Amino acid sequence: MVGRHKAGDELELEVRVPGRPTPFEVILNPAHAEWECTCTSREPVCSHVVAGVLSAVAAARTGAELPEGDRARGLATIRYLLTPSPGGVVVDRVLVRNERSEPLVGSLLSLVGTGQAGGIATIEADLLADQLLTARVGPVNGERLDRLLAVLADARDIRWKGEPATTSHEPVMPRAVVDDAPPGVRVRLEADPSVREVIAVGVVRTHDGVLRPIGAVDLSGPRLDKLPQVFDIPPSAFPDLLGKTLPALAQRIQIDIRATRLPKLGNRETPRMAFDVEQDGDRLRVMPTLVYGDPPRARIDGNVLPHRGAAAAPRPGRRAQADPPAARRAQPRGRPARRAPGQGSVRDAERAGGLAA
């Protein structure tokens, strides 16, 4: 029985049984008389929960929050030593017992299979990592390194060049920043500011000590060597920028639009009808328009999207079937809206209002 963590009223414990290389995980909540166990027992209370309760009670009597750990019980834990190499990352494993360490030689699964791992506090991550590390001799790189980073995210003792570290399967992605650059805008692809250093091909170390794979390698480069990238976009290219380039990038990476002449990329907005009504003697002139935002930030004029006086651009992501029927009736066949005179101001106002019904 090993105590792992206490958060509020919950105790997280591990129960090891003979013949099983990985422990069962038990969670106790004494305040609410609740418990969980990862075993498949159908009993109302399994033996692992009972053992956990007894160990927690014994620890409480001595003033401890949790039962003793693996090292206190004489079990060795596995430490992963990661160092850079021209061919990737070299991974060595050592057994740590009572502040003493010795190399772990050979396959951990072989030790488990022959019954020689009884003194090692193995967990699922150790067994999965063993398969990756023993499959091929030499530095770990490429897809195998990405998989190893995902597996070691659950490991309990990792060192990068001797310093404590952790790993994650979440890739570090570049980001795009769009700034004003008169007369147009400037698109800059840059590295995530959390990156501290590139430690190997396809892997970085963040400022908080996490080893993560590099994502969007076609944009970043295998060592972030393609960043930063800068593109100056003239006003004549705004339609392609708004209608193609930025929407495509937004599906892959974070985009920060700071340029005042471009709209913010966000969730799809539902268009609405707006009516410009002017009185002309005894008549009203009514022009219905299809707009986005309130107050309007953009309007549809035929098949283009004039925005804040910038160059006309197709509306990104617009689909005719997604627009309200009233909008399609108001602008048939994609013609730009035109002001139409009518007789009787009240009647015309009522009839115009009926378009949005």
Please list the alpha-helical segments (H only) found in the chain.
Answer: 47-61, 108-113, 124-134, 142-151, 217-220, 238-240, 246-250, 325-330, 345-354
In the DSSP assignment, the letter for residue 155 is -
Tokens linked to 272: 């609405």
What is the average per-residue pLDDT within 179-200? 95
* 324 pLDDT above the threshold of 80: no
Report which of residues 9 and 162 the model is more confident about.
162
How many Å apart are CA 275 and CA 349, to the nearest integer? 9
Confidence of residue 287 (pLDDT cuts 50, 70, 90): confident
- Which contiguous run of DSSP H or E holds residue 96? strand 88-97
Per-residue pLDDT, 352? 43
For residue 269, the 8-state DSSP code is P
Confidence of residue 167 (pLDDT cuts 50, 70, 90): very high
Q: Does this model's pTM top 0.95?
A: no
Interval 249-276 mean pLDDT: 80
> What is the Cα gyration radius of the chain?
32
pLDDT, tens digit (0-9, with 9 covering 90-100), for 78-99: 999 999 999 899 999 999 998 7
User: ∠148-153-155 over CA atoms, to 5°?
Assistant: 95
Cβ 326 vs Cβ 275: under 8 Å: no
What is the C-alpha to C-alpha distance for residues 236 and 190, in angstroms, rounded to an integer? 24
For 196-215, what is the HEC assignment?
EEEEECCEEEECCCEEEEEC
pLDDT at 8: 86
- Biggest distance spanned by C-alpha atoms of the chain: 100
Segment 306-314 long-range contacts (CB within 8 Å, at least 24 positions apart): 307/242, 307/262, 307/263, 308/261, 308/263, 310/235, 310/238, 310/261, 310/262, 311/235, 311/236, 311/238, 311/239, 312/239, 313/238, 313/239, 313/241, 313/242, 313/243, 314/239, 314/242, 314/243
**Domain coordinates of the chain in residue numbers?**
2-69, 77-167, 175-257, 272-354
